[in-house]
Amino acid sequence: MSAARVALLSFHTCPLAPTGEGKAGGMNVYVREVSRNLGRAGVPVDLFTRSHAGHCQGVTNLEDNVRLVHLEGGPETAAPNELYPYLESFLEGLVAHARQEAVRYRLVHSHYWLSGWIGQRLSSRWRVPHVVTFHTLGDVKMQAKAGERESDQRGSVERELASGAHLIIASSPHEEDALVHLYDADRGRIEVVPCGVDLSIFKPLDIGEARKRLGLNGERVVLYVGRIEAIKGVDLLLKSAAIMDGKDSLKVLVVGGDATRGGEVRRLKGLAEELGIGQVMEFVGMVDQSLLPLYYNAADVCVVPSYYESFGLVALEALACGTPVVASRVGGLPTVVQHARTGYLQSWRCPEPFADSLEVILGSKVLRNSMSREARKRAEGMGWEMVAEETSRLYDSL
Ligand code: UDP
């Protein structure tokens, strides 16, 4: 195959941003890991993102074959929903950069709708195929009814991409169906490639050792990991913990968000007090991803109570560590969690069924051990190198 480079666009957020707080989460991990693994597989990648605090303009090598290029793209502190007016100038900056370096790209792969807007125009100018991965879809987020609002621009750009991109990579069959039914996309141009996990980091460790390192004693440990925002549904976890039998011997760890400043974390702490579980809760704040395996391994069960997840990397990371998962049956989560085998999926957003599932898992060591074995088995074969291999095969098919 030709060694011409792939232009990968992650306009609004840097793949190296620390994850677990604000808007930096699964997509950052995805873009970072897929590009690294493409590079390792011999597919040269230039990854373009906008300049931000701590990273001025310039080119950094992420791996052999993988370069990260920061270009100017609006005020450094702007939120994603303020960035639409800066797409045009980022596009022009990118075209100028490629011209100056005399690099030709074989295709453009955009991540999220903002990058998609740029990618669609680059694809026409350079006459190369355009691949889009949406990560989340505006209409689906609104349908999830977590109180979020999306701009009209987002809807119209997503529709333009659904009909105009040469290939859409969806991370679950749910996303594929949403694209077909809500966006009128042609199923023939969608390929489902589930997300991956770094199996060399996320793996079973000695549970006693993990607990010791985290200062945990004999408690039954329930874990939440993720950004802290309304769509993650952390309220439901708190309400479930509050009605569980023997809740006083529980420890509920909430990893992610800003434990000191974040408004949503403050609200959740208040809710925990109201529910009488202030002592049970520990808001840990954001943890570097390299330390997360300790948390997953120290936990008896991981909870993903989201209103919507296009995939749900946290669930897969927990399974890779051999930790059963209780999750809401939404979006991509049923692709990750096998009901009654590696955890439980709940269709109702009510505390009772979540509390029941947690009690069942916490109440039986035999069940936990069996789910744990099945969980790791499920995650094996879902390494990022597989995702990159499949992505590279799709690039070649264009
Ligand atoms: N994460 C992290 N530190 C934290 C909390 C989360 O590194 O304190 C990472 C986590 O390992 C996962 C990602 O953030 O890879 C969250 O991805 P997910 O798909 O679960 O949710 P999203 O952020 O895409 O909504």
Domain ranges for the chain: 5-196+383-397, 207-379
The Cα 111–Cα 88 span in angstroms is: 16
> Is 5's C-beta closer than 6 angstroms to any atom of ligand 1?
no
Continuous H helices in the chain: 26-40, 87-101, 112-126, 138-143, 152-164, 173-183, 207-213, 234-242, 263-274, 292-298, 313-320, 333-336, 351-363, 365-379, 384-397
Measured CA to CA in angstroms, residue 281 lies from 68, 225, 254, 338 at distances of 39, 13, 7, 27
Residue 225 CA: nearest ligand 1 atom is 5
Taking the centre of ligand 1 as the mean of its atom positions, its distance from the CA of residue 312, in whole angstroms, is 8
Instruction: Give me 25's structure tokens.
Output: 């989460």
- 32 within ligand 1 shell (Cβ under 6 A): no
Tell whether ligand 1 has an atom less than 6 A from the beta carbon of residue 256: yes
Distance 288 CA to ligand 1 centre (A): 10
Q: How far is CA 91 from the centre of its chain?
A: 25
Q: What is the mean pLDDT of each run of 10 residues along the chain (398 residues)?
A: 82 92 92 97 97 76 94 88 94 97 96 98 98 95 79 94 98 97 98 98 96 94 96 97 94 90 88 96 96 98 96 98 98 96 96 97 97 98 97 98
Q: Is the CB of 25 under 6 A from ligand 1?
A: yes
How many angstroms is it from 31 CA to the middle of ligand 1? 13
**Which three-class secondary structure string do you get for 257-293?**
CCCCCCHHHHHHHHHHHHCCCCCCEEEEECCCHHHHH
Rama region for 244: left / alpha / beta (φ>0; ψ in -120 to 50; rest): beta
pTM, whole model, 2 decimals?
Answer: 0.96
What gap in Å lies between CA 373 and CA 204, rounded to an integer? 10
The pLDDT, as a whole number, for residue 191 is 98
- The residue whose CA has the least distance to atom 10 of ligand 1 is 314
CATH architecture under which domain 5-196+383-397 falls:
3-Layer(aba) Sandwich (3.40)
Tell me which residue has its CA closest to atom 4 in ligand 1: 20
Which pLDDT does position 233 carry in this prediction?
A: 96
- Is there a common fold for 5-196+383-397 and 207-379? yes
User: Which residue from 282, 314, 317, 321 has its CB within 8 A of the most atoms of ligand 1, so it is best to mutate?
Assistant: 314
Compute the distance from residue 24 Cα to the ligand 1 centre, in Å: 8
- Fold of the domain built from segment(s) 207-379: Rossmann fold (3.40.50)
Pocket test for ligand 1, best of 289, 296, 306, 325 (most atoms within 8 A of CB): 289
Q: How far is the CA of 116 from the centre of ligand 1 (A)?
A: 22
Which residue puts its alpha carbon closest to atom 6 of ligand 1?
A: 20
Q: Is the CB of 305 under 6 A from ligand 1?
A: no
CA of 214 relative to ligand 1 center, distance in Å: 19
